[in-house]
Amino acid sequence: MFKKVKLIVLGLALAAVQEPVLAQKATTQTKLVEKVTRKGSELVIPYEKYVLPNGLTVVVHEDHSDPIVHVDVTYHVGSAREEVGKSGFAHFFEHMMFQGSDHVGDDEHFKIVSEAGGTLNGSTNRDRTNYYETLPANQLETALWLEADRMGFLLDAVTQKKFENQRSTVKNERGQNYDNRPYGLVSEKVAQALYPYGHPYSWTTIGYLEDLNRGTLDDLKNFFLRWYGPNNATLTVGGDVTPQQVLKLAEKYFGSIPRGPEVKNMKLPAPTLTQDRYISYEDNIRFPLLQLTYASVPAYHPDEVALDCLAEILGQGKTSILYKNLIKTQKATSASASNYTSELAGQFSLSIMPFPGQSLADMEKAVREAFTEFEKTGVSDDALTRYKSSAEANAIYDLSSVAGKVAQLAAYQTYLGTPNQLPRELKKIQSLTKADVMRVYNQYIKGKHAVVLSVVPKGKADAVAKADNFKVDPTGYKAPKDEYEGLKYVKAKDNFDRSKRPASGPNPVVKVPPFWTDKIANGIKVIGTKNEEIPTVTLYFTLKGGHRLEAKDPTKAGIASLTAAMLNEASEKYTAEEISSQLDKLGSSISFGSDADEMTVSVQSLVKNLDATLALLEERMLHPRFDQTDFDRLKKQRLEAIANQSTQPTVVANNVYNKLLYGEGNIMAVPVIGTTSSVQNITLADVKKFYQDNFSPSVTNLVIVGDTEQKKILPKLAFLNKWVPKPVEIPTQATNAGIDKTKIFLIDKEKAAQSEIRIGYIALPYDATGEYYKARIMNYLLGGAFSSRINMNLREDKGFTYGARSAFSGTEYAGPFTASAGVRSNASDSSVVEFMKEIKRMRDEGVTDAELAFVKSAMGQSEARSYETPIQKAAFLNNILRYDLDKDYVTKQNQILQNITKAEINALAKKYLPYEKMNILLVGDKAAIKPGLEKLGYEIVELDTEGNILKQTSAIPESTKQVNLPMEDTKRKKKKSKNTEKTGPAVIRTF
């Protein structure tokens, strides 16, 4: 399912649906097809659209606010174009597009973009696949050269070895994000039951393992020839460019690529269910899940907006019916509704996780009672206003980055044939009525049948809402016609040498945002910068302390986080629901949080609604109600969340890893949300006292970024002077646990498809221009870059993982160096070998001349991407205040980077990579992985999920070791790799 853009503007001069400037069609030359410009304060994305003679659509958005360019190539092919028995192929093919082409070496695509200071990725959903880069603007030609080469010159560079390697990577991805993740198979099970057998949405984009195993190299080549022609693609470029500049380069690099076979849009009827289809499966979870899914409408359907509004009323936020009936009453830990749409169909879903003591049958009854309640109460004026106003803010925030604008233009063009859809979406939402919402409820939900999925803990099959009554039936399925017969590979013929990488233009001038500083009388330090690109203001408060304050009384660990949660509830004047309603109507947000070192307050507002938003901020910050009912509910949710952590391998690994590093008696060894015993000890009186003692302006920094000036914003913050300062003592850091020698710590997660690995020790505190910064330069090559040694080895060379990495993560306090990955279970011991080998090789051998040049170029040029969005600007300014940095610290960092020598980096590796004194933690299936780990020669300590010792095994004597670590490096092909990014069931990204 692709991500919808939910948009509205109220109170702005609205963009009418513009008629594009049209040009005559041409078959032999490129001509302008559409041109859209902004008039006044319209909310519209200006662009020019061209079509090349080979069918490639080119869309250009000119934006000179930052010296960057974003390039997106979207192919109108996703998993919906796959065949039965060959699921997952569109996404698998996306991986192959990063493995080199005729004029670009193996995995060099990523290396070139990274070295140029850029970032890149690719993603696949049901309906399209896209590839994109964000780079300094002088690298535009390089980006287009790279994208054109894989569009027109891929297949001769594809080998069986690359094919098998990426097949392994995709299988690891499925294991990490689906099979080994709680509730990871929900989307797959629902798709199988909602859509008829053979329907292109009846499988998920990741595909089935057996289908991935079945695919051949010829299948891959045919897939490319059928769907990857320029006439099935849109090239969208936005940023510090001109349309003429982009068009000239597009014609040069893409113009000679031959058209592919014609691609026709698909259109299928909505699925129909003759009865409710009950399905279920068992999972390694604590909370059972109930999900009801109804067939809705495709994206951009006239009824989509009304269904979105209906979902908000039923199950989104504190004003929704499900929140009021189930969460507020402590019957469920979560309850939500959503309307997902894709090109061919949509799904309206309601999902509930009940607290223990509530059955899934009870939850199904509660959902149906919520429908009845909605029928009686209908759609209020407030509900309609909330939906429209919050969408206004979404529309504006989506325009904060050139990548966001390009993504919208590309999606609109791909699905609708015109990039100029934003004004139409605005108009649809503005014209939405209460009657529209009731009509779609009656048409698509009331009395209609649903897929009712129960996910229950293993061994509790009888806990389902109702016995299964549905099985997939292939009867009557007829395979579509063969799309792949007679395809031929024809390469472009050029009058220039494609093997020659384009030269970069002059490096863009990167300007650190100018900023001002001030101090409020009660001690709050303020830093701000003006950002006129969008009419919004962001405020970010940080209060020193957070989890570290709990060292004063560790028996109540988690109180900082629980206090922040309470501040998100009622104030003295308003209930939490009333505040939520007012914020939605303003299109604003206010949220409190807490982490290891700080409590935070984040505020976002449209400029026009800033005064009203600040009035609500004053209520929440300075006048919290601290209601006993709210506290009881949040405490119950917190205790259940802590208990649920034992089912999540990633969380178990992180928590126990911290316990090993920091040791008993150190508050950092305790999770930020606390433990069962510590949270049980916390009372409402404790929360009130923690707030009174520690929530103080004396330890507060405030960052302001937005379309405002110092002299305008500070008077609006006068209410903060009512905040009385008090001294807050931050406890000194306790001694960290020592590591006498490297050991393996093993936690059993029975039948786990993957093992989570953490390797490291306590290293360095943050220092912007000292050894911490220099160590990060060294680590960029070891495990910080997508093309780092660790990721290249474990992912690209060995196929053990979907992604591996390492990092230094210090703050004011010394933080850990950590190498980590989720690896397939049967490669657990081998992955430990490769991790330690790369750490040892970096320490003992250092870096090469080529690596030194690479890191200087990559980290140096990436600064052009550092200050584009309000969030990026706020992070930059927050660092200055938090660490008391010089105003020119970025300049100093650049000087350090450009002047650092191989000898310095090698010395840092010797100093900060003590491979003989690191903890190695694995969370995986002990029965499967322990025999291999025992052969590595390390002492093995078995732990439970809370880090308590269960069993300790001495190291195998040297004479019997089969693998003597650390191993000497073996010769291997030098390749560059991609890294990982979290994925969901709808869109799968490559890295």
pLDDT at 44: 92
Contact indicator for 123, 129 with CB cutoff of 8 Å:
yes
Whether residue 113 has pLDDT greater than 80: yes
Q: Is the pLDDT of residue 742 over 90?
A: yes
3-state secondary structure of 544: strand
Quickly tell me which residue has 């069931």 as its tokens. 985
pLDDT 10s digits, 247-290: 999 999 999 999 999 999 999 999 999 999 999 999 999 899 99
- Single out the residue of 64, 11, 9, 13 nearest to residue 38, CA to CA: 13
Place 41 in a pLDDT band, splitting at 50, 70 and 90.
confident
Radius of gyration of the chain (CA): 28
pLDDT at 11: 35
Count of CA atoms in the C-beta half-sphere (13 A) of 807: 12
What is the rounded CA–CA span in Å between residue 500 and residue 498? Answer: 5
pLDDT top residue among 979 and 840: 840
In this predicted model, what pLDDT tens digit does every residue of 158-199 receive, in sequence order? 999 999 989 998 988 998 889 888 999 999 999 999 999 999
Mean pLDDT of 863-880: 91
The predicted-structure confidence for 647-678, as pLDDT tens digits, reads as follows 899 999 999 999 999 999 999 999 999 999 99
pLDDT of residue 218: 94
Residue 962 has pLDDT above 70, yes or no: no
| Confidence class for position 29, pLDDT limits 50, 70, 90 | confident
What integer pLDDT is reported at residue 972 of this predicted model?
35
Helix 243-254, helix 140-152: angle, nearest 10? 30
Return the residue matching tokens 């809402």: 465
CB 808 within 8 A of CB 758: no
Q: How many CA atoms lie within 13 A of 461 on its CB side?
A: 5
pLDDT tier at 990 (50, 70, 90 boundaries)? low
- At CB < 8 A and 24+ separation, what contacts does 38-41 make? 39/15, 40/13, 41/12, 41/13
**How high is the pLDDT of residue 958?**
44
- pLDDT number for residue 393: 83
pLDDT digits (tens, 9 = 90+) for 938-957: 999 999 999 999 988 776 54
Mean pLDDT for the chain? 91
Q: What is the pLDDT of residues 471-498, one digit of tens each?
A: 999 988 998 888 999 999 999 999 999 9
**Residue 712's CB: how many other CB atoms inside 10 A?**
13
Helix (H, G, I), strand (E, B) or coil at 777: helix
pLDDT at 23: 34
Give the mean model confidence (pLDDT) for residues 106-111.
88
pLDDT at res. 672: 97
| Integer Cα distance of 123 and 209 in angstroms | 19
pLDDT at residue 983 above 50?
A: no
- Name the pLDDT band for 968 (thresholds 50, 70, 90): very low
- Cα(531)–Cα(57) distance, rounded to whole angstroms? 33
Is it the case that residue 737 has pLDDT exceeding 50? yes
pLDDT reported for residue 977: 34
Mean pLDDT of 130-137: 96
pLDDT of res. 28: 67
Sign of CA dihedral 268, 270, 273, 276: positive
Closest CA to 398 of 704, 316, 390: 390
Please give the backbone phi and psi of residue 451, each rounded to the nearest 5 degrees, phi first. -85, 120
Over the stretch 417-451, which tens digit does the pLDDT of each residue have?
Answer: 999 999 999 999 999 999 999 999 999 999 999 99
In this model, does residue 6 exceed pLDDT 90?
no
The label of the residue with tokens 């509205």 reads 8
Across the range 504-516, mean pLDDT stands at 86
Q: How far apart are the first and last CA of the chain?
A: 19
Per residue, the 3-state secondary structure of 214-277, as one string, reads: HCCHHHHHHHHHHHCCHHHEEEEEEECCCHHHHHHHHHHHHCCCCCCCCCCCCCCCCCCCCCCE
Global pTM value: 0.90
Kindly report which listed range (231-245, 572-586, 857-871, 909-923) carries the lowest average pLDDT score: 857-871
Q: Strand, helix or coil at 181?
A: coil
Domains of the chain with CATH codes:
45-254 (3.30.830.10), 277-407+418-463 (3.30.830.10), 516-722 (3.30.830.10), 743-956 (3.30.830.10)
> Of 766, 778, 777, 769, nearest to 815 (Cα)?
766
pLDDT tens sequence across 332-385: 999 999 999 999 999 999 999 999 999 999 999 999 999 999 999 999 999 999
Query: Is cis: bond before 966, omega within 30 of 0?
Result: yes
**How far, in whole angstroms, is CA 63 from its chain's centroid?**
25
For residue 733, the model assigns a pLDDT of 84
Three-state DSSP class for 332?
A: strand
pLDDT at 237 over 70: yes
> What gap in Å lies between CA 849 and CA 851, rounded to an integer?
5
User: For residues 842 and 929, what is the distance between their CA atoms, to the nearest angstrom?
Assistant: 27
Nearest CA-CA partner of 36 in 49, 27, 25, 52: 49
Q: Name which of 925, 922, 923 is nearest 750 in CA terms.
A: 925
